[in-house]
Structure 1
Amino acid sequence: MRRRHDIRSATAVADARDTTRAFLEALRQPTIDSETADTAVLVVSEFVTNALRHGGGTYTLRLAAHPDTIDVAVDDPSSQAPRRRTPDLIDGTGGCGWPMVNRLARATAVTRRPSGGKAASALLNR
Structure 2
Amino acid sequence: MSELTAHLDVPLDRGAPAAARRAVTAVLGGWGFKDADWLDAAAVIVSELVTNAVRHGGGCVALALESHDRRVIVSVADGSSVVPRRRDPDEVGGRGIALIEALSEGWTVENYRGGKRVRVRLVPCPRGGEA
CA distance in 2, matches of 1:57, 1:34: 33
In the superposition, the TM-score normalised over structure 2's length comes to 0.84
Distance change in 2, residues 1:95/1:10 (3 Å):
closer
Partner of 2:18: 14
- Given the alignment, which residue of 7, 14, 18 partners 1:2? 7
Q: Which runs of 5+ in 1 are unaligned?
A: none
Runs of 4+ in 1 over 3 A off after TM superposition: none
Match of 2:96 in 1: 97
How much does 1:10 deviate? 4.1
RMSD (CA atoms): 1.3
Of residues 53, 56, 60, the one that matches 2:55 is 53
Higher relative contact order (CA 8 A, sep 6+): 2
What does residue 36 of structure 2 align with?
A: 34
Unpaired runs of 5+ residues, structure 2, are 1-5, 126-131
Question: Which position in structure 1 is the counterpart of 2:114?
Answer: 116
Q: Deviations over 1:29-79 (max 9, x none)?
A: xx3300110010000000000000000153100012221211100000000
**CA distance 1:10–1:99, change in 2 (3 Å):** closer
TM-score norm. by structure 1 comes to: 0.88
Instruction: Report how many residues are paired.
Output: 119
AA in 1 matched with 2:68: H
Letter in 1 for 2:8: R
